[in-house]
Amino acid sequence: MFDSLNALPSDAILRLIAEHANDARSNTVDLGVGVYRTEDGETPVLKSVKAAERQVLETQTTKTYLGSGGDPEFNALIQKLTFGDEVAAERVMTLQAPGGSGALRVAAGVISRARENATVWHSDPTWANHVPLLAGAGLTLKPYPYYDAEARTIRFEQMLETLSQAPEGDIVLLHGCCHNPTGMDLSREQWQAVAELLASRKLLPFVDLAYQGFAEGIEEDAYGIRLLAGMVPEMVVATSCSKNFALYRDRVGSLSIVTSNAKTAGIVRSQAHNLVRTMYSMPPDHGAAVVRTILGDAEQRANWVNEVKEMRERLQAMRTGLVAKLRDKAPDHDFSHIERANGMFCFVGISEEQVEQLKKDCGVYMVGSSRINVAGITPGNVDYLAESIASVL
């Protein structure tokens, strides 16, 4: 049977990781893999997570099944973290999912059941896994303009114009904050315009919130979601705890679907739980128990918020530092968009040929589109990185 299969190309990021790992040069810079790193290049377990893990270990009395929806207390706390007080809890179906990817896939399954041949509009560009995750569930994907690679700004007027022509009932996929891969986020005024358009055109908002806390703050980064929740009768939100809790391998996320009333929320819950049962049965418990412990205790939550602030400020400092160095090394080129971006990712704004030259000549690794993970920049390599970029311009 399996002799009929053909090998598929490996993931571009995974290839980049392997290439970097096999590079024997001592001054290499890895800007590819999408994890947070400290100035020492480590991806640590957060102190707040360590403390919560100790508490879970000491107090947990069973490993019995939780059910397809996961940990109910985790779901309630994440729902509150996401929506605040902007929507009545009985209108929202929230379930724990195996990471943001799991949440996206379950959401796609529910949407496919609710509307056959549903169309999802996504930003151009968007996270590379959005398209295969959603299309794999039978959804049709169409792009809307988002990033102007030459001007290095959001193509907001073109975005609105395209979405204004989307048929009623279509779904619009939005990045809640820290747009991946561009790092360019909507302003509050732009969120208002988008919300008004979606409400008037009866389009369903589908928000991917993977980096809450990495742009402006935990509460501030939920602005777009909470604005939409107060203006539309239905919406979908997928969240991830991979970045802001650094629980990458524990696969912790959530799916929330806002409905027009409590009865519909119950129906949606039954559909979502049925899908979960046929895919992975139920999500893993440990990471969600840790998040529940942190969010459910005022002191532990405050410690976590401070750690997220430290991560956010380090990313911002590295953006500012790189732009300052590039201003010195390449004064004829404008890289100010790197400093205007939010979160872990952005485009440098160089060609694929220049990216390849950086890898070959300097040992600087980034995706061919010139998307970089800012967390790979440190005070110890920012000078070399700026010099390397300047050398290929």
> How far from chain centre, in Å, is Cα 143?
18
Does residue 208 have an active-site annotation?
yes
- DSSP H helical ranges for the chain: 12-21, 47-59, 72-83, 99-114, 130-135, 156-163, 188-201, 223-229, 262-279, 286-295, 298-329, 336-340, 352-357, 382-392
CB atoms within 10 A of CB 318: 21
Catalytic residue among 170, 185, 243, 250: 243
Does residue 304 have an active-site annotation?
no
CA distance 259 to 92: 6
CB atoms within 10 A of CB 346: 28
Q: Which two three-digit tokens encode residue 272?
A: 């979502």
Does residue 243 have an active-site annotation?
yes
What are the backbone dihedrals phi and psi of residue 53, each rounded to the nearest 5 degrees, phi first?
-60, -40
CA distance 245 to 156: 31
Catalytic residue among 30, 71, 127, 304: 127
269, 322, 348, 356 from 333: Cα distances, Å: 52, 13, 11, 19
DSSP, collapsed to helix, strand or coil, labels residue 240 as strand
CA distance 305 to 210: 16
Q: Which two three-digit tokens encode residue 122?
A: 């996504």
DSSP, collapsed to helix, strand or coil, labels residue 55 as helix
Angle (nearest 5°) at CA 238 between 237 and 241 = 130
Helices (H) and strands (E) in the chain, counts: 14, 13
> How far from chain centre, in Å, is Cα 286?
21
Q: Which two three-digit tokens encode residue 378?
A: 């440190």
CB atoms within 10 A of CB 22: 7
Catalytic residue among 185, 208, 221, 250: 208
What amino acid positions are annotated as catalytic residues?
A: 127, 208, 243
